[in-house]
Chains A and B, each alone.
Chain A
């Protein structure tokens, strides 16, 4: 099952001929064979280094490949346009990896997406992940070396984005026999969490990097809701950071709607107010967005709290009451 993506997902890359687009298309193909093509306006009809077809528009790519997901690597000034082009072509899962998209562009793009979704059912809705995020991965069992597109790491998973694939563990390979869902505002901190859970004998159902920008697509609550419904997900690890009130909102929602074991970590406990900590969204301002309030709300909602970033996997295991199997 997993959430959002699996081996049947058909992914295109917008910006496939750019340096990053090309690099990560290759990286995704080395993990799982789910990339079916790409888009670069003006290069339609050509093939990329992996032999994938390139199209001028997303609509053309969808007609030719039946793509239902996209990963966007186009530069920041054109990212919102790329998101709306994908939505216009009925792509249901849009992952915008690009960092540095103007907030005003995202305010407009979100408004248009929200309006499109008003006319859609829950099943058909268009989902945006990001921008400024690592993407989404549903791990599969290891079936190959993962060194090349012809010998991918797995034939049963799907990777959309820039995360290192090999640190993830499919439930069938997890000594505890359990997999968790991971949702995070940060990229590399997510890899850290994945690594720790893998080393403790837990697998991952799906990992979603929702991104570090103040205005973005899917949030914590959207992901928690999907994980709650997913039979492969035995618990959820949520990684937040300072800035905004998304973690507090997620805590309040989870208290009412989540039955699965929950764990959380909040980055930036020691960050000074008024300083933007890398992510555009990570800033304590006007007395809001501090880590302590978030941790308090999450604890009250039943989340097991990781006291340090080295404790994320263990906090998840504690919440699930599983006997951990150290693999280091």
Chain B
């Protein structure tokens, strides 16, 4: 699960990581008011207005703006709340922006990168740091891998202070900055473990010029990005409450209510499959045969007849769908449940488009019998003998 930047800043703030004053706003009027309050508190006239969406590429799209007056803040807010944001990550139709973050501007001496994630190869959490902050870390990793410092975190005792200090020195911090940076790393590591994160990223982490109270400058978190392990949300009600359904595809949300794993795609062949690997490879073989999948849909092993029927409703509600492929290899999932769901969907919604069904595995005979009995309502159905045959048939049917 992803959360917004403003929510991530709240988590950092609560964990003791210094972040510039800021507020989440949803209207132009609130932008003016927030600008005045925040800049007064921070003793600056500079503030930044940032669109709160889960997609990246905000800066290039013009949805991160520096402002120097309440009027400029209002104008930036008006622009962002009334235009859709289009970036490389959003697709051409763009995203509606409903929430903005307005935060006090800071003078920046230098930018750094700091993140924690789980490294599957070593099966440990790892602290990733770089003195080249503010840019995409993948670009740094590609162009200058030596600029990235990776520190494994012990699974039972967590990040140790000496490790954090070591990283701080490697990043070039000096004097009082070292303790500040190390404390931020330790706080981030604690947060990662306590909240079951799968990614906790501060980019950029900045160093400000020296000023009163901070003779060596201050180390601050400017941006915060958190992803959480969906499997662990049961023990984090506070995090689960941060979920923003407006950021999700409505069909995917609808499917999730029935424990179906649905991802919308661009093509015209609807797929209903059991098992993630089989569902992915069913999309692969459709492409191989020259077709385009309209979705990924894994109904899983324990879906009920009602859930599978809902799966068909979702597929058939997609106007792009010109054909449907059902590929089931029953293990825990029984073929008769799938067949009954097909019969239900035929009665209720109707398959006006070609339907190709491939059933194998647990209770396959019972499943085939149900489909035979429902043949009157399944006039567009073709059975397939195997996966290759099924893909060929559905691609031919929509061609």
Contact = CB atoms under 8 A, between A and B. Distances in A.
B359 to A, nearest CB: 12
Contact of B121 (A77, A245, A268, A278): A245
A195 interface: yes
Nearest to A239: B277
A162 B280 contact: no
Interface stretch (A8-16, A101-109, A138-146, A226-234): A101-109
Interface stretch (A116-124, A170-178, A307-315, A316-324): A307-315
Interface string A277-317: 11111100011000000000000000000011111000000
A102 B231 contact: yes
Contacts of A278: 261, 275-277, 279-280, 296, 298
B125 interface: yes
A195 B332 CA distance: 16
A104 B124 contact: no
Nearest to A311: B388
A169 to B, nearest CB: 15
Nearest to A76: B231
A164 interface: yes
A189 interface: yes
Interface string A79-109: 0000000000000000000011111111110
Contacts of B125: 107
B285 A103 contact: no
A161 to B, nearest CB: 9
A135 B106 CA distance: 55
B288 A188 contact: no
B332 A162 contact: yes
Among B125, B138, B288, max chain A CB count under 10 A is at: B288
A195 B89 CA distance: 40
B196 A104 contact: yes
B174 interface: no
B278 A186 contact: yes
A191 interface: yes
B31 interface: no
A44 interface: no
Nearest to B136: A286
Nearest to A310: B388
A76 B263 CA distance: 24
B231 A100 contact: yes
B120 A270 contact: no
B232 A104 contact: yes
Among A76, A104, A106, A287, max chain B CB count under 10 A is at: A104
Given A103-B231, A111-B123, A188-B329, A287 B142 contact: yes
Given A185-B277, A187-B275, A269 B284 contact: yes
Given A186-B277, A191-B331, A267-B277, A103 B121 contact: no
B120 A214 contact: yes
Given A164-B361, A186-B275, A277 B280 contact: yes
Contacts of A186: 275-278
A187 B287 CA distance: 22
Interface string B361-399: 110000000000000000000000111100100000000
Contacts of B360: 167, 191, 195
A100 B301 CA distance: 13
Which label, helix, strand, loop or mixed, suits the secondary structure of the A interface? loop
Contact of A107 (B123, B274, B288, B298): B123
B277 A189 contact: yes
A245 to B, nearest CB: 6
A275 interface: yes
A311 B216 CA distance: 64
B118 A215 contact: yes
A242 interface: yes
B329 A195 contact: yes
B120 A215 contact: yes
A287 B138 contact: yes
Interface in B104-154: 118, 120-121, 123-125, 137-138, 141-142
Contact of A134 (B121, B231, B331, B386): B331
A244 B120 CA distance: 7
Contacts of B281: 189, 192, 265, 267-268, 308-309
B232 A103 contact: yes
B330 interface: yes
Contacts of B138: 286-287
A186 B279 CA distance: 10
Contacts of A157: none
A268 B284 contact: yes
A102 B302 CA distance: 19
A222 interface: no
Contacts of B120: 214-215, 244, 246, 281
A277 B279 contact: yes
A110 B123 CA distance: 8
A14 B60 CA distance: 53
A282 B261 CA distance: 13
A241 interface: yes
B290 interface: no
B246 to A, nearest CB: 19
A271 B283 contact: yes
Contact of B386 (A189, A242, A310): A310
A235 to B, nearest CB: 21
A249 interface: yes
Contacts of A108: 155-156
Contacts of B123: 106-107, 110-111, 215
B162 interface: no
A77 B288 contact: no
23 contacts: A100-B231, A102-B196, A104-B193, A110-B155, A162-B331, A164-B362, A187-B275, A187-B277, A187-B301, A188-B277, A191-B360, A215-B118, A267-B280, A267-B284, A268-B284, A269-B287, A277-B279, A278-B261, A278-B277, A286-B137, A287-B138, A311-B388, A328-B386
Given A164-B331, A270-B287, A311-B388, 19 more contacts: A102-B235, A107-B123, A107-B124, A111-B155, A111-B156, A164-B330, A188-B277, A188-B331, A188-B361, A191-B331, A271-B283, A277-B296, A278-B261, A279-B276, A280-B231, A287-B142, A308-B281, A309-B281, A309-B387
Rank and list the top 10 A-B pairs by shortest CB-CB distance, nearest first.
A186-B277, A278-B276, A188-B275, A310-B388, A189-B277, A309-B281, A102-B232, A111-B155, A188-B278, A267-B281
